[in-house]
Amino acid sequence: MTEDIKIIAKNRKASFEYSLLEKFEAGISLQGSEIKSIRAGQISIQEAYVDVSDGKQAWLLEAHIAPYEQANRFNHEPRRKRRLLLHKKQIRELWNNVRIKGMTIVPTQVYLKNGRAKVEIALAKGKKAYDKRATIAKRDEARSAEREMRVR
């Protein structure tokens, strides 16, 4: 069985703001009008984050899914909290890392896999200002090296 993956939204800022340590794939519990909006590409995860409540359930917060125009009165709340579908062992691991080690969980991308909406979440540790400057310097250096190769 081949996996048909279509990336809908990426959180490019997450890799700049955080050091991404471990990634997980999670399903999202959605309403009917929400999946229609996601398939139309109407989702933003720039300010979104994941909260694990009491080590029992994981929730996607502050993700904006635009209302679906044709759903009129049966529409959804754009910024409601959405349950993430993970195994208990994965939730426990995330909970322990957040609670004990002071890490955070950020969504990195939303995609459709075999017709189902999935979100890739990453266990992350915040970068310091000097780490961000080093990342910018490395990126600029790579760009200038690429320019040099093009000129020759």
Q: Where in the chain does DSSP place strands (E)? A: 5-10, 18-28, 43-44, 49-53, 57-61, 64-65, 82-85, 104-113, 116-126
Taken as a whole, the chain contains a residue count of: 152
Q: Are 52 and 58 contacting, i.e. CB atoms less than 8 angstroms apart?
A: yes
pLDDT of residue 68: 84
Q: pLDDT tens digit string along 77-101?
A: 888 899 999 999 999 999 999 988 8
**Alpha-carbon gap, residue 147 to 152, rounded angstroms:** 9
Q: Is the pLDDT of residue 1 over 60?
A: no
pLDDT (0 to 100) of residue 76: 81
User: Per-residue pLDDT averaged across 11-25, rounded?
Assistant: 91
User: What is residue 43's three-state secondary structure?
Assistant: strand
| Model pLDDT, residue 2 | 62
**Residue 35 in contact with residue 94, Cβ under 8 Å?**
no
Token readout for 18 is 């955080």
Distance CA 52, CA 44 (A): 20
Identify the residue with better confidence: 64 or 54. 64
CA 47 to chain CA centroid, Å, is 10
Mean pLDDT of the chain: 89
58 has pLDDT over 70: yes
Domain annotation for the chain: domains and CATH numbers: 5-127 (2.40.280.10)
Residue type, position 145, single letter: A
What phi and psi values does residue 56 have, to the nearest 5 degrees? -105, -45
| Region of poorest pLDDT, from 4-13, 24-33, 111-120, 126-135 | 126-135
Give mean pLDDT, residues 107-116.
93
